[in-house]
Structure 1
Amino acid sequence: MARKNDHLKTDKILAQRNLRKQLRKEQYLDRTQFYNELMDNPSNDMFHKLIRRNRGSKNKDAICIMENGEHHYSATDQTNSFSRYFEDLAVPKDNGYDSEFLDLCNIRHNIFDELCKQSSNEPQFSFQNICDAIQQLHSGKATDELGLAAEHFKNSPTTVTHFLTNCFNNIFNNHHIPDIFKSGIVTPVLKKGKNPMLMDNYRGIAVTPVISKLFECTILPRLTVNFNQSPLQFGFTKGLSMLMASLIITEARAEVKLVTMEPLFLITVDSQKAFDVVDHIILLDALYDHTQNHPLWSIVKNLYSGLVSRVKWKGTISDSFNIHQGVRQGGILSPFLYKVYVNNLLEDLKSHNLGLKIGTNYVGCPTCADDIAFLSSSHQELQCMLSVATHHARQSRVTINPTKTKAVILNKPKNINRSDLNWTLGNTPVYPSEDTTHLGLIRAELKENNLNVTGVLALYDLPSITTLSQNLPSKLKWKATVKLAIQDYWTKTLIKEIETKSSLTYLDKTLSKFSGGRESALCKCCGTSDEDITHFLLLCPALHQQRKETFSKLKSYVISVIGLGYWSKEFKGHLDLIRLIIDSSFLLPKLRNRTELDKIQRLATDMCYRLHSQRVWKLQGK
């Protein structure tokens, strides 16, 4: 019976392996078909689809969340940590910003408020306005805190349209926004490739009530009527694509190289938490200048007064907290309001003719939402552009990250010495870099297409591009050369790895998985139970003597630095002890200095080495 069960288990594992192989094959065919379609029929829709595919849709839950040096493992503790993080982010900070400009905006804000009270009401909404707004809602999205989704409104337009029309018109007449419109649930979403333990690597995506989204969809067309948007703002704009902003940089590089023969400098500017730190008073001041619509200005002011949010994480929802700054990521009005917030900077640069021109067309600051790039043929002019950006950042109460602000020389004549160039961002110098990333594309001093190729050729010890261009090999000869070079590289790499890990063998339980069940998971040292990491480090009786000597030293030293009380509280089970042995870095906040952690790690490493050596000796003896 046992043999039959083993046979069935092996067949199951083989079937699963074949299924995964087929899935990978289908995914490859799907990628190939998509790339062929992208090359044959390029369009804005295909470009955005490519961006979404590259960003990925998998959000893996973090094992733990770190807050002020403390590690939180439970869903409740992590939710509360995120709540405190986003609540602190929603409170304005004074990091050396222009307080006089804020005072002026406050005075103007009060004047605008009085003017709005004396103005006539906006024309009423019609049934058609509400129907158009309902059709703009995206299906398949998460339900709001009331349990409503876009489908509820799309599938019953005749039922809800009359009610919503009266409701929205009453809001305009009374200038009062219901509290439910100001509520939202924030879900932390990890940025791609970032450390999941750090809360700073998450962006808060807000899910607002569907009825609030409908209201914002209804007023958005009226808000944008008189907005004179900068022609170099390509983000969140109908008929425009971020691809166009990238194309401008490519065209500028071709222009200076083939036509004007001038140098070309590029600086990409990174703003910290751009959407989350928008000051509401300054935003409303800019909105009034751009819209000149008193009733709508008053509605937006009331909509952003008294905002509250809650955090949802792993099925747990936090208590509500107030939002005093920022525009919600995921809100209908948020992209438009942010464009209003940064529009003055783009217009200021253009009005002062700061930046590059292609012919008579100004292209000095191609922008997509908060991703701004500065282009210029003069490094002195580029410094002026940085100074203007710094001035606007102080007024707008935005912090520009100097470490992520990079400069690249896209075209360098021979008379320019790279080491002589530098710029200043506030008090921080900015030196030329070899490359920077703008809108997902690498912009390098070398040709972007050759950047990775050069590195790959060097990695596999293949001839350089220059050498190949002088003596071009045939296709078959080149394929054979590349194949041998790759095989030689990885053979040497793996042999080197084997030399440093000559006695490394799988634990028996892992070996059983890899063998498809053909090998037994039973510990060969003691024969009492399956050999997994817990059994090997803590339980195997055959390794008891080595474990007793080494673990007692580790335990005694840890207790001497953290105290017996903390030891008894934190190390209650096998998993806690395994964590201490494998990765003791979580103890760092409780230690006085790094030296104590280094000693703990040395003791843990010594324990693992002695247990491993004893295990190998016993297995070789058998």
Structure 2
Amino acid sequence: MFPETTTGIQNSNIVIEDRHPTNTSDHTLVTANIPMKIDKTSTQLVKIYTRPNWAKCDTNIYTSTLKQELECESRRKESSVEERIKLLEKSIHKAGKKSIPKYRQLKSLKTVGKGIWNRKISEASRDSKNAHTLWKRKINSHQNADTEKINLTSKKRKLRQLQRQAYASKKEKFINDIMQASQKDSKTFHKLVKQQRSKHDTNTDILYIGNKAFEGEKILSAWQTHFETLGTPNFDENIFDLERLELAKLQNKIIPELDIQNKEITKATPTEIESAIRKLNTGKASDENGIVSEHYIHAIDVITDEITDIINQIFEELDVPQSLKNGILTPVLKKEKDKTIPGNYRGIVVTSIFSKIFETIIKDRLEPELFPSQNTLQRGFTEGASSLFTAFIVSETTMLYKFLKIVLELLTLDAEKAFDTVTHEIMLNKMFHDGIRGDMWVLLKNIYTNMTLQVKWGDQTTQHVNIQQGIRQGAKLSTLLYKRYNNTILNSITGSHLGAKIGTICVASPTCADDIALLGEPQDIQAMLNIIEFHTKRDMVKINPEKSEVLCTSKGKNYQQKAYTLGEKQINRVDKLKHLGITRNVKSKVNTDERLKTGRQTIYALLGSGLHARTGMCPLVLCKIWKTYVVPRYLYGLEVQICTKADIYELEKLQRKIFRQFLSLPERTASSALYILLGAEPVETILDRNMLSLFLTISRLDNAIEKKILQWELEIGKDFTESFINRIDKILNKYSLPNPKEILENPPSKYKWKNMLKKAINIYWSNIWKEECLIKTTIKYLTIQENPTENPHNIWKAARNNQNDIRKAEFKSRLITGTYIPQTAKQNCKIKFQNILELSVPRAERTLSTFYGL
């Protein structure tokens, strides 16, 4: 509990304090004076600027003021780029002050709890203090204080009662706000729901770098030391092969002098700038100058020409101002990691908004040139693709090798600080050999020269840290540059013809950003590891063998376990591993227990004990929270795995249980009634929809490796029953939709497919539920709405968002589902029981034990 600097705990002065007059709990205060050696810290109030309220912005005043400012003489081209950007941001703030009330006011945040206080509590607190004073006075004068004690207890109970009422009112208001926002204001709805999420304090009072501890104000210097070390290249010849670096440096010196470098950058157009501004994400944190995306978006017509002019000046001079090279880095703790170790944090950088626009334009120009040479197995940071595509390749390869009874190993590699250790010289050299020439190459070099960061921790920031290696996580160009950096490794593996294949399609190294997986037979895996070791040493990148894992996903006929090494260290062999959020095991089965645990934990973290209508929360709102926040986590990745009927039953079972709690209905309620009342989809349909969504996405991607896999599976026919295309065929037949071949050859538009699928699903379940309503007597009066999987029953649709209406709707739901037992039924049951009792047991022998059947 106490650090090693604590001294004299045994001599400490421990005192049990008297109960405070307003203390309504069962606990009292204990104080102890403990001598300790600690560094003195200065306590400061957290000072921040209020975010501009853009809903109250007078757009006409904002744009007209900004236009006037931009027309001033000081904006001429004679000024440097740095000065022009500063003047532009100054003009933006000036326009904001004139058009937005209380624009960027400095406010102080005090560290206070979320307690409540009102006039009644204030009066009750005063009465409790007075009663405590009278009681204490009698006790001190050794008089009988029984009456005063009773009075004090009464006053405390009254205070506690008022406190509980206030908390209940606060909770009721919060619930009403969520219900109202769920219908009218989606943004507020998500904001309120996220407030319910469990909050873990990621800030720490101590950091350890090696064996050295940093506390108090020294934590800031610890962060600075950590990121300075991370941003400094390691030239240890025992770890890396420096020949590639020396060659890159030599070539990079010669490149600017080559004739092929006489290629100027095409001037930016207002259309390009406008497109870049529209791509900015809104609602994000401001940059170090207090600018947010909305500043540019709300004045896009006025500000576009000025930004175009400034960026063209950069293209002409090839001089990137220092303000575009700076950034604010915030350490973000990785999931389930020790928060006292700096290496367990991911550094997320906030760059200036102007820098985002500038880098977006460069990225949009580079991507068309670089995309054709990108390895097809790299699915990270690629338009139209996602991490599920990588998982899809792994799953289909595993299923095929199981079907063919061939041994297949899956090996996942862990890259250490992948983004933070990219060597600038090697990166720029690779860009040149990838075809980026002329002034654009020089511009990229200037962007990554003298790059600096400031680390933000709490309300303080460090001095500028010089970054000599690494690309900023959060900057627009970083994703593109990283893909090019590890493209060499993927090309080498593909070119070696090692590893797994689906037909003639090489699927040896499916990759998502820095997550590289190796698939192959045992004789190929070690060779691929040797290729990776060779290139990572030359590229000065580290792979951690201790965190890398290998799993046999298909044992085939004659499986013999082999050990694999990276360098001199052996790769850990496991029975299950997690790859891209999906747990893989030896039998390639879905980990249902883990899914159920995730679903329960997520919904209880969001709603706590409020999983039923009696708390005042409308079941439709609860269902929306379930579908929006829980289902994506609960069922993530199952579209690329094979779910058995038993798996779907268990997943469905939890969803039905949660829905019964939402509706406050008993266990005996018919399952179909839950879905009809809430207008929800069964898990079976959600999985079908997700699989079809993935299938349609792949179908629209020409020349994608995933589409080639589907076409190959289509050609081999029905023999490979567990293939993705055969499973899709069954789903399409189930909903009477076109066959997979038609969709692959001529994929429908998103809008057309969405309507087609929605209609098919509603018809399918409407027919099933109508039959159930005819068979089951408990739901024979339950009418099925039009489009039942997305349209709640009128009982709940007509209920207003208040507790009285919700209680009425709950009562109606119990009546219509046959789960409410009226008094007449209870009386008839009682009469029947008495008749049976009279016939079977003589009156003289009737006892309580007889009644209970004991």
User: Would the TM-score normalized by the shorter structure come out above 0.5?
Assistant: yes
Question: How many residues are treated as equivalent by the alignment?
Answer: 436
Does 2:6 align with 1:6? Answer: no
Query: Counterpart of 1:16?
Result: 167
For the pair shown, the structure with the greater C-alpha radius of gyration is: 2
Give CA-to-partner distance per residue, 1:457-477, whole Å, 9 cap, x none.
xxxxxxxxxxxx9xxxx99xx
**What is the distance in 2 between the residues matched to 1:454 and 1:301?**
47
Alignment of 1:127-142 (within 5 A): 127-142=270-285
- After TM superposition, give the deviation of residue 449 of structure 1 in Å: 1.9
User: What is the correspondence of 1:292-303 to structure 2 with a 5 Å cutoff?
Assistant: 292-303=436-447
Instruction: Note closer, same or farther for the CA distance 1:56–1:7 as it changes in structure 2 (3 Å cut).
Output: closer
Shift of 1:257: 1.3
SS at 1:203's partner residue? Answer: strand
Please name the residue that 2:525 is paired with: 382
- Per the TM alignment, residue 110 of structure 1 is displaced from its structure 2 partner at its CA by 1.4
Matched residue, 1:61? 203
Q: How does 1:101-500 map to 2 (within 5 A)?
A: 101-115=244-258, 118-227=261-370, 228-258=373-403, 260-376=404-520, 378-418=521-561, 421-450=562-591, 452=593
| Aligned match of 1:49 | none
What corresponds to 1:560 in structure 2? none
State the alpha-carbon separation in 2 of the partners of residues 25 and 163 from structure 1.
Answer: 47
Cα separation, partners in 2 of 1:172 and 1:361, compared to 1, 3 Å? same
- Which amino acid counterpart does residue 215 of structure 1 have in structure 2? F
Deviation at 1:454, TM superposition (A): 13
Q: CA RMSD in A?
A: 3.3
- Larger relative contact order, structure 1 or 2 (CA cutoff 8 Å, min sep 6): 1
TM superposition shift of 1:172: 1.1
Q: Secondary structure at the match of 1:224?
A: helix
**Could you tell me which residue of structure 1 aligns to residue 221 of structure 2?**
80
Corresponding residue for residue 525 of structure 1? none
Which segment is superposed worse, 273-282 or 110-119? 110-119
C-alpha displacement of 1:16: 3.5
Contact 2:402 2:556 in 1 (8 A): no
- Aligned amino acid, residue 467 of structure 2: I
Q: How far did residue 382 of structure 1 move?
A: 0.7
Aligned partners of 2:231 and 2:468 also within 8 Å: yes
Deviations 1:238-295 (A, max 9, x none): 100111101111111111112x221110000001000000000010011112233322
Q: Give the residue type in structure 2 aligned to 1:351.
A: G
1:414 is displaced (CA, Å) by 4.6
Secondary structure of 2:475's aligned partner: coil
What are the superposed Cα offsets for residues 66-125 of structure 1, whole Å, 9 maximum, x if unpaired?
Answer: 234344442x32222111110110000134211111111111111222237950312111
Q: Which amino acid aligns with 2:365?
A: R
Structure 1: unaligned runs, 5 residues or longer: 32-51, 457-468, 480-622
Q: Which amino acid aligns with 1:9?
A: R
* Aligned equivalents of 1:356, 1:27: Cα separation in 2: 51
1:442–1:448 contact (8 Å) kept in structure 2: no
Is contact 2:260–2:437 with CA below 8 Å preserved after alignment?
no
Aligned-partner residue type, residue 141 of structure 1? K
Alignment CA distance shift 1:215-1:116 (3 Å): farther
Shift of 1:5: 4.5
Structure 1 contact 339–369 (Cα < 8 Å) conserved: yes
**Equivalent pair of 2:334/2:344 in contact (CA under 8 Å):** yes
Counterpart residue number, 1:99: 242
Shift in CA distance, 56/329, structure 1 to aligned 2, threshold 3 Å: farther
Show CA shifts across 1:469-496 (max 9, x none).
9xxxx99xx99xxxxxxxxxxxxxxxxx
TM-score by length of 2: 0.48
CA distance in 2, matches of 1:371, 1:56: 29
Q: Deviations over 1:299-337 (max 9, x none)?
A: 110000010111111010111121000000000000000
Q: Displacement, 1:354?
A: 1.6
Deviation track 1:325-372 (CA, whole Å, cap 9, x = no partner) reads 000000000000000000111111111112111112111111010000
Deviation at 1:56, TM superposition (A): 8.9
Shift, 1:450, TM fit: 4.8
Distance 1:318 1:380 in 2: 51
The answer to whether the 8 A contact 1:145-1:185 is kept is yes
Correspondence for 2:750 = none
Amino acid at match of 2:389: M
Report Cα offsets for 1:14-69 as digits up to 9, x if no partner. Answer: 663797799899999x99xxxxxxxxxxxxxxxxxxxx99x998663224222343
Offset from partner CA, 1:538-567 (integer Å, 9 cap, x none): xxxxxxxxxxxxxxxxxxxxxxxxxxxxxx
Q: In structure 1, what is the Cα distance between the partners aligned to 2:531 and 2:156?
A: 74
- Unaligned segments of structure 2, at least 5 residues: 1-126, 129-153, 183-193, 598-643, 655-854
User: TM-score under structure 1 normalisation?
Assistant: 0.65
* Structure 1 residues 569-609: Cα deviation after superposition (integer angstroms, max 9, x where no partner): xxxxxxxxxxxxxxxxxxxxxxxxxxxxxxxxxxxxxxxxx
Q: 1:155 and 1:453 mapped to 2: Cα distance?
A: 46
Paired amino acid for 2:167: Q
CA change 1:263–1:454 in 2 (3 A) is farther
Question: Counterpart of 1:138 in structure 2: which amino acid?
Answer: N
SS of 1:161's partner is: helix
Per-residue displacement from partner, 1:211-253 (whole Å, max 9, x unpaired)? Answer: 1111001111111122121111111111001111011111111
Assess, with a 3 A threshold, how the Cα gap between structure 1 residues 57 and 207 changes in structure 2: closer, same or farther: farther
Distance 1:11 1:370 in 2: 56
